[in-house]
């Protein structure tokens, strides 16, 4: 027997507002994926900027679903990855570890933001932790594929650290500024 409370709870979990938030996060990730600088074997994009904005603005579950929707679209053949690419094997190539990292780090950052994100400095530390987690997962898979941790570090870790710090600051300024302005009204 179906209970009304369970049904209404299920429908509430997928309310229009939450669905809109998830779609907006997915769209932001798509747009930022297209801002790419060609590096080999991993392109430098604005994806981590988008992930940090998503984590700051959405709940952990919503941020997970936004990233999952983007990844699913790419695996299904929709050109949503960097340089309008898509392919089912993306999770198993040189960028796969970063993609897994996106899915893992974004809801973790969101949960940490919700719990401890009260100052710009704390938000920066959480965003940096998330960026580090993404880089670590990307490096690990790249090291496995290249057969060399040092080579993977030089190709897929070290070149991205400064960019990740800059993207963290940009995302925090954007969202922190918006939130601070909305509280002053």
Q: What is the pLDDT of residues 136-161, one digit of tens each?
A: 999 999 999 999 999 999 998 898 99
pLDDT reported for residue 22: 96
The domains located in the chain, with CATH, are 17-183 (1.10.1760.20)
Parts of the chain with a pLDDT under 70: 1-14, 41, 179-185
If you ran DSSP here, which 8-state letter would residue 44 be given? E
Do residues 106 and 64 make contact, with C-beta atoms less than 8 angstroms apart?
yes
pLDDT reported for residue 118: 74
The pTM score is 0.85
d(CA 80, CA 70): 7
Average pLDDT, the chain: 87
pLDDT reported for residue 9: 52
Closest CA to 60 of 9, 108, 125: 108
d(CA 177, CA 107): 22
């Amino acid at each position: 027997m179906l209970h009304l409370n369970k049904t209404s709870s299920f429908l509430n979990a997928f309310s229009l507002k939450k669905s809109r938030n998830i779609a907006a996060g997915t769209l932001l990730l798509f747009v930022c994926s297209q801002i790419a600088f060609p590096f080999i074997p991993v392109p430098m994009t604005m994806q981590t900027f988008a992930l940090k904005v998503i984590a700051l603005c959405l709940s952990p579950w919503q941020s997970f679903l936004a990233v999952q929707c983007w990844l699913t679209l790419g695996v299904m053949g929709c050109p949503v990855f960097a340089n309008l690419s898509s392919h089912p094997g993306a999770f198993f190539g040189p960028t796969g570890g970063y993609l897994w990292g996106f899915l893992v780090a974004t809801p973790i950052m969101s949960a940490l933001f919700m719990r401890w994100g009260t100052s710009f400095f704390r938000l920066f530390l959480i965003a940096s932790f998330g960026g580090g987690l993404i880089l670590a997962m990307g490096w690990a898979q790249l090291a496995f594929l290249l057969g060399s941790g040092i080579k993977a570090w030089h190709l897929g870790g070290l070149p991205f650290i400064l960019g990740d710090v800059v993207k963290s600051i940009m995302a925090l300024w954007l969202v922190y500024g918006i939130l601070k302005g909305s509280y002053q009204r």
